[in-house]
Amino acid sequence: MERLVFATMAEPGGSAKRALLLFESLRTFGGELADNPAIMLVPKASTPLSDEVQKRLGALNVRIAPFDLDEEAARFPLAPVVYASAEAENQTKGKAELMAWVLMDTLVVSPPLAFLAPGGVNFTYRPVHHTLVGPVYDKPLDGFWSLIYRHCGVTDDRVFPMETCVRDNTLRPYFNSGSFVVRPELGLLSAWRERFERLYRHPDFEPFYQKDVRYRIFMHQAVFAGVVLNMFKKEELQELPESVNYPLHLHGEYPPEHRPAALNDLITCRYETIEVLIGALQEIPVEEPLKSWLDRKLQGTNSP
């Protein structure tokens, strides 16, 4: 059985090209984990990946796997992440002890050994970047989060304080759904999909969607928090270091003492768009060999 499998999702076009950059960075800078198995989930209903992308993924030893996504879910913000990650979990169950889920706009810049969760830890995570719709720890739950906790079966004894990445608030547990590590046999992501399917179109939440579009955008992540807190006790959770999932698009909002001195000091980072990545490289020092590698990948194009 493999110790760790990497997984992401993408669709034909720009997101598939960003996924290629992710896997190229893993194979180049992943250290002893550089050759670990990797899967890219693609919606069944999407157009086929180009021959060039398939060839490059094959050369990187990345397996392409389809996942189901109905039309209604496909129209709901970020729902594909829920369905794709659950399918990745299902495909790695019985084949790997751990699965690292990272979104396609991730770069691996140092060996991600922090993903190797010790025994007894069933979920490793990063907090959300900033508060937005998050539940502030020292305030009563609002109507939205009261519903999330009730529908997901979260009890008070599972709640603990968690700082956002940019330190704009201390929240109740609210995990970033763009980078985490699970034990596939425990079925966390299948439970997330099942609960999300029940709740994202539940009439209880429609007034919140109408009030503020951010509730719709982050519904998947709120349900994720509820499912994690229902399934696991605090001692089964472990926060990943700040050098994981560092958001380059929020570099200017980070407290100076928490910013990396160089991009090389990170393990993984997120960049959202190639334009953001190019801009960040003007603000954050980059040392060799990462600098030359990025120059080659980004030279003369806004798409990797």
Residue at 21: amino acid letter: L
Task: Write down the pLDDT at residue 299.
Answer: 83
Domain-embedded: residue 304:
no
Is residue 303 assigned to a domain? no
Q: What is the CATH number of the domain that holds 137?
A: 3.90.550.10
216 assigned to some structural domain: yes
Q: Tell me what pLDDT residue 303 has.
A: 43
Q: Is 55 exposed, middle or buried (0-12, 13-18, 19+ CB in 10 A)?
A: exposed
- The per-residue pLDDT for 34 is 98
Please indicate, yes or no, if residue 97 is contained in any of the structural domains. Answer: yes
Q: What is the pLDDT of residue 302?
A: 46
Cβ atoms of 187 and 66 closer than 8 Å: no
Rounded to 10°, the helix 290-298/14-29 angle is 160
How many domains in the chain?
1
pLDDT, tens only, 205-258? 999 999 999 999 999 999 999 999 999 999 999 999 999 999 999 999 999 999
Q: Please report whether residue 105 resides in a domain.
A: yes
Instruction: Identify the pLDDT of residue 48.
Output: 87
* Domain of 194, in residue numbers: 2-298
In a domain, 42, yes or no: yes
Q: Which residues of the chain have pLDDT under 50?
A: 302-304
Burial class (CB in 10 A: 0-12, 13-18, 19+), 287: exposed
The first and second tokens of residue 168, run together, are 């704009």
What residues form DSSP beta bridges with 268? 108
How far is the C-alpha of 24 from the C-alpha of 102, rounded, in Å? 14
In a domain, 22, yes or no: yes
Exposed e or buried b for every residue in 115-135, given b needs 16+ CB within 10 A? bbbeeebbbbbbbbbbebbbb
- Residue 140: asked if its preceding bond is cis (omega within 30°), the reply is no
Please give the full DSSP string across 216-228, using - where no structure is assigned.
HHTHHHHHHHHHH
